[in-house]
Amino acid sequence: MSKGKGFWARLEDVPREVLYAILLIVFIIPMLNPIGFPVPISDAAKKWYATIDALPAGSAIMIDFGYSGGGEPELGPMAAAVYHHIFRKGGLKPITMSTSIDGTLLWDKVIAEVNPEKYGRKYGVDYIHIGYIAGTETAMAAVGKDLRATTNTDYHGASLDQFPIMQGIKDASSFKLLICYTTGGDQSEGWVRQWNTPYKTPYLCSVIAMMVPTMLPYQKAGQIVSLLAGAQAGEMELIVGVPARGIKSADVITLTHVLVFAFVVLGNIAYYGRKASERARGG
């Protein structure tokens, strides 16, 4: 009960609805009226871009859409920016699979956003999706060992043999690069164990921001070439030159982070204020 509580105690126990309301306001304003805060481009984003750029023509890239619907606002823009890069560069073979059951539908969403036809890219020739494969790490191991034994159809159910992009694709050794977008550590770490460790496939990984500290050991050990949070999609969009949802979110990220910092400071001021007033009353 707030009656009888001092000012500091009431500040310390601010109802959560008040905090939520302030956060919501700070969230909505830049979404409706983008402010245009500067966005630094990190070394990791530059390395990601350079890795794809350095691939020779004809290189096959395994892309895992391993995130669920909840992660789409964060990872969708990143995936879209990377697809823009791949399609613009041309000559590469992005072959996508999903270790998440939502992956195929989320891939559809991203492809619709990217519009490969704009780059003259055709499904089955320049890009393909081989479907959702259940089992997470088991799926990764099976595909790495023998892709055709694991699945022989694309996500529409059509035979892979009819698609020019799949010619010569047998197993992990057929791929020059692995990219994973995921909200689950099982996928991000699983690819390290099942592809990078046995087959030494270079690996680019994009995860939600809270997973980055836990994935850092792999990046520091060189098992992941570049690790990006989905929240860094704005950086990727800037490098590739396709500003979209990621850049728009950057303003929101800045303001909400500053707000939470302000809340933390306020909470500590309230805590010490309450302790001081209790000491003053008691002493």
Partner 1 sequence: MFVAALLVMVDYFLKIPGTGPAVVDLQNWGIILSAFALGFGAVNLFYLHTRHISRRTPGQWPFSIWILVMIVVTAIIGVATGATGPQYSWWYNSTYFALSATVYSSLGFYMTTGCYRALRARNVEAALLLVVGAIALLRNAPAIAVGVPIIIPMEAWLSAVPTTSAQRGIMIGAALGAIALGVRTMIGRETGFLGRLTEAERRGGT
Partner 2 sequence: MLVAGRIFALGMLIALWVFIIGAMEMAKKKLPTFRKLSGLDALPEMVGRAAEMNRPIHYTTGLGELTGTVAPQLVAGLTVLGYVSELAAKYGVKVIYSVYQAQVMPIATELMREAYIRAGKGDAFDAEGQIRYLSGEQFAYATAVQGIAERERPAANIMIGPFYAESMMFSETFFRIGAIQLAGTARGYQIPFFAVVCDYLLIAEEIYAAGAYLSKDPVQCGSIQGQDIGKVIGWILMLVGVLATAAGSPIIINLLKT
- Please give the residue ranges that form the binding site for partner 1 (CB under 8 A): 14, 16, 19-20, 23, 37-40, 68-73, 101-102, 104-106, 108-109, 133-136, 138-139, 141-142, 145-146, 149-150, 155-156, 198, 209, 212-214, 216-217, 220, 229, 231, 234, 250-251, 253-261, 263-264, 266-268, 271
183 contacts partner 2 (rule: CB under 8 A): yes
Shortest separation between residue 58's beta carbon and partner 1, angstroms: 27
Contact 71, 173 (CB under 8 A): no
Please work out the total of residues on this chain that contact partner 2, with binding judged by CB under 8 A.
18
Q: What is the dihedral of CA 273, 278, 279, 281, to 10 degrees?
A: 120
Q: Which of 103, 144, 184, 246 binds partner 2 (CB under 8 A)?
A: 184
Amino acid at 75: L
| Distance of alpha carbon 129 from alpha carbon 172, whole angstroms | 16
15 contacts partner 2 (rule: CB under 8 A): no
Q: Which of 59, 68, 151, 277 binds partner 2 (CB under 8 A)?
A: 68
Q: Return the range that interacts with partner 2 (CB under 8 A); candidates 47-55, 134-142, 164-172, 174-182.
A: 134-142
Shortest separation between residue 68's beta carbon and partner 2, angstroms: 7
171 contacts partner 2 (rule: CB under 8 A): no
Q: How far is CA 129 from CA 1, 67, 101, 153, 210, in A?
A: 57, 15, 13, 9, 28
| Distance of alpha carbon 262 from alpha carbon 106, whole angstroms | 35
Joined together, the tokens standing for residue 95 give: 């072959």
| Binds 169: which of partner 1, partner 2, none (CB < 5-8 Å by kind) | none
DSSP state letters, 178-231: EEEEES-HHHHHHHIIIIIHHH---EEEEE-GGGHHHHHHHHHTTSSSEEEEGG
Amino acid at 258: V
Amino acid at 259: L
| Binds 201: which of partner 1, partner 2, none (CB < 5-8 Å by kind) | none
| Distance of alpha carbon 255 from alpha carbon 37, whole angstroms | 10
Q: Which is nearer to partner 1, 43 or 281 (CB)?
A: 43
210 contacts partner 2 (rule: CB under 8 A): yes
- Contact residues toward partner 2 (CB under 8 A) are 16, 68, 70, 135-138, 183-186, 190, 198, 208, 210-211, 213-214
